[in-house]
Amino acid sequence: MKKAYLGVDIGSISTKGVILDEDNNILASKYIWTEGNPIGAVKNLIGELEQQIDTSKIKIVSIGTTGSARKLIGVVLNASVVKNEITAHAIGTTSIYPDVRTIFEIGGQDSKIILIEDGIVVDYAMNTLCAAGTGSFLSSQAKRLGLEVEEFGELALKSKKPTNIAARCTVFAESDLVHKAQIGHKKEDIVAGLCKAVVTNYLNNVGKGKKIMAPIVFQGGVSKNVGVIKSFEDITGQKVLVDPNSHLMGAIGVAILARKSGQEIEFDFNIANIEFKTKGVECHKCANNCEIICIYRGKYLIDAWGNKCDNGAIPIKNH
Ligand code: SF4
């Protein structure tokens, strides 16, 4: 049996998974929507990954999880390693681009920047509040223009004179966009202006005060948009690299960390048939009324968190 490592990156929008061999080669990968149900999404993901490998020859010996639901999914999968997105993305990216100095990431609802020196994270910033520098901004504006967000990038490249869009916030951007369309700006110029606005917002928000050094690697859903890539290159004056597996970097990173941890676990692909439940209970032992999240595997409580002090700790038995 060959040893393999599973990495799962579970966010509020999408769930990504990879299986790596000992040399970081991707044996299987999948990207699916989380649809508000992280446990259901992971069950589907595992089923999809299983179909891509020969389980009589390959054995998952270690698992890592990252993303906003990493803790929950780490418990469900009995993960050896649970790491935040910054670490996971940095490890995944440096495994492919060892010299990378700056990682730009723009997802559907958030964005981040990671600065790296000699393969080590030296600074980072995240934005989860302002939509104006994210993919959801681009998709909502695309809809207004009657376009698919996939058509956006190519159209933007046709522009010779991007329209200036007042895009510091989505509300202003929407009314400005309607105004610019009414006074006769071409669609390709408006679209190029929106790509530029996303880049400007990103650089003024998470990129504020950060020294951006090449090589730059761009990832997250928006990295598939050639219009945004071009705007980044125009504004930074640097080449911006986009890996074909850029959407998998977090999962790759955490699978590598699982391998490096040396902690081997038992894993069964058949988790689809196991019932996992989460239940919130309030601790009333003081005025904080902490909500404690309990995770059950069948009838057994397998983990619980959310208590701000030990008085509210719920004992877990190992079954
Ligand atoms: S967990 Fe601790 S802080 Fe929270 S309500 Fe219970 S006693 Fe209070």
Is the domain of 6 the same as that of 87?
Answer: yes
Mutate to test the pocket of ligand 1, among 282, 284, 288, 293 (most ligand atoms within 8 A of CB): 288
Identify whether 215 is preceded by a cis peptide bond (ω within 30 of 0): yes
Number of domains in the chain: 3
Is the domain of 151 the same as that of 281?
Answer: no
Residue with tokens 């929507």: 33
Which domain covers residue 282, as residue numbers? Answer: 276-312
**CA of 302 relative to ligand 1 center, distance in Å:** 20
Domain membership flag for residue 254: yes
**CA of 298 relative to ligand 1 center, distance in Å:** 27
Taking only the tens of pLDDT, the chain with its 319 residues reads: 899 999 999 988 889 999 999 999 999 999 999 888 899 999 999 999 999 999 999 999 999 999 988 999 999 999 999 999 999 999 999 999 999 999 999 887 788 999 999 999 999 998 866 666 677 788 888 888 888 777 788 888 998 888 888 766 666 777 777 788 888 888 889 889 889 888 988 998 899 999 999 999 999 888 889 999 999 999 999 999 999 998 899 999 999 999 999 999 999 898 888 899 889 999 999 999 999 989 898 888 988 988 999 999 988 865 5
Which residue's CA lies nearest to atom 2 of ligand 1?
Answer: 309
Is the domain of 151 the same as that of 125?
Answer: yes
**pTM summary value:** 0.84
What's the sign of the alpha-carbon dihedral 202, 203, 208, 212? positive
Domain membership flag for residue 228: yes
Ligand 1 pocket, residues with Cβ under 6 angstroms: 283, 285-286, 288-290, 307-309, 311-312
Counts of helices then strands in the chain (DSSP H, E): 9, 13
Using the atom order of ligand 1, give the atom closest to the CA of residue 306: 1
Last residue of a domain, one of 197, 225, 242: 242
Is the domain of 13 the same as that of 83?
Answer: yes
- Tell me, what DSSP letter sits at residue 209? T
What's the sign of the alpha-carbon dihedral 254, 259, 264, 268? positive
Is the domain of 110 the same as that of 236?
Answer: yes
- C-alpha span between 138 and 149 (Å, rounded): 7
**CA of 79 relative to ligand 1 center, distance in Å:** 28
**CA of 296 relative to ligand 1 center, distance in Å:** 21
| Strand ranges across the sheet with 291-297 | 276-282, 291-297, 300-305
| Cβ atoms 318, 303 nearer than 8 A | no
What is each CA distance from 193 to 69, 228, 232, 306, in whole angstroms? 35, 10, 12, 44
Is the domain of 143 the same as that of 217?
Answer: yes
**CATH code of the domain covering residue 228:** 3.30.420.40
Is the domain of 119 the same as that of 233?
Answer: yes
Is the domain of 257 the same as that of 194?
Answer: no
